[in-house]
Chain A
Amino acid sequence: NAGVTQTPKFRVLKTGQSMTLLCAQDMNHEYMYWYRQDPGMGLRLIHYSVGEGTTAKGEVPDGYNVSRLKKQNFLLGLESAAPSQTSVYFCASRSLQGAGQPQHFGDGTRLSIL
């Protein structure tokens, strides 16, 4: 049981390049989230999804797009990477069943934009 898996773990991009970060969960969770973590800022929500085919904006959505074509996968895209998007990106998932379900996090993707 892998839990939440993020791919890749590290990536260096040049300004203007595009890329997609993949999050996969094997727990049949309905909710999935993308966060970014910057020094001294805690975790900030980029986009989230409450189910297959649905997405919603979080606190800092600009410059990112997401898709949830399959329940187990949540993709985060950067169409034209900017140095301000240098960060550590975390994906999380959670079950819809009952209150108090914990969020399970992936190990993060460290992304550097030069």
Chain B
Amino acid sequence: GIQVEQSPPDLILQEGANSTLRCNFSDSVNNLQWFHQNPWGQLINLFYIPSGTKQNGRLSATTVATERYSLLYISSSQTTDSGVYFCAVGFSGNTPLVFGKGTRLSVIA
């Protein structure tokens, strides 16, 4: 099956710093989503981005489908950005997503 690898596994930042999270996947995909799991365990969808670039406030994401990777950028990080960021991929819009193991981000004031 498809493999999803996220790096780094853990990241500690000072408030205000920028960061880049990476997601590599083993096969061609038509569905890629980024999720944030907050410290209370809630999972929030951040982006649907099988290709190209999207931005939402301080967060942006880029997927280079031909090279099988996606990047999530967090600028001017805040303590509320802490949590685990998951990348999930699928072969099509209708197949179940396969999740990576996540990147745990801790933003320190």
Q: What residues of chain A have their CB less than 8 Å away from a CB belonging to chain B?
A: 31, 33, 35, 40-45, 48, 50, 58-59, 88, 90, 92, 96, 98-105, 107-108
Contacts and interface: CB of A to CB of B under 8 A. Distances in A.
B94 A96 contact: yes
Interface in B60-99: 86, 88, 93-94, 96-99
Contacts of B97: 45, 103
Contacts of A31: 94
A102 B88 CA distance: 11
Contact of B93 (A43, A101, A107, A108): A101
Contacts, number: 53
Contact of A102 (B33, B96, B102): B33
Interface of B: 1, 30-31, 33, 35, 41-45, 48, 50, 86, 88, 93-94, 96-102
B47 to A, nearest CB: 9
A106 B101 CA distance: 19
Most chain A beta-carbon contacts within 10 A, residue among B30, B35, B88, B97 = B97
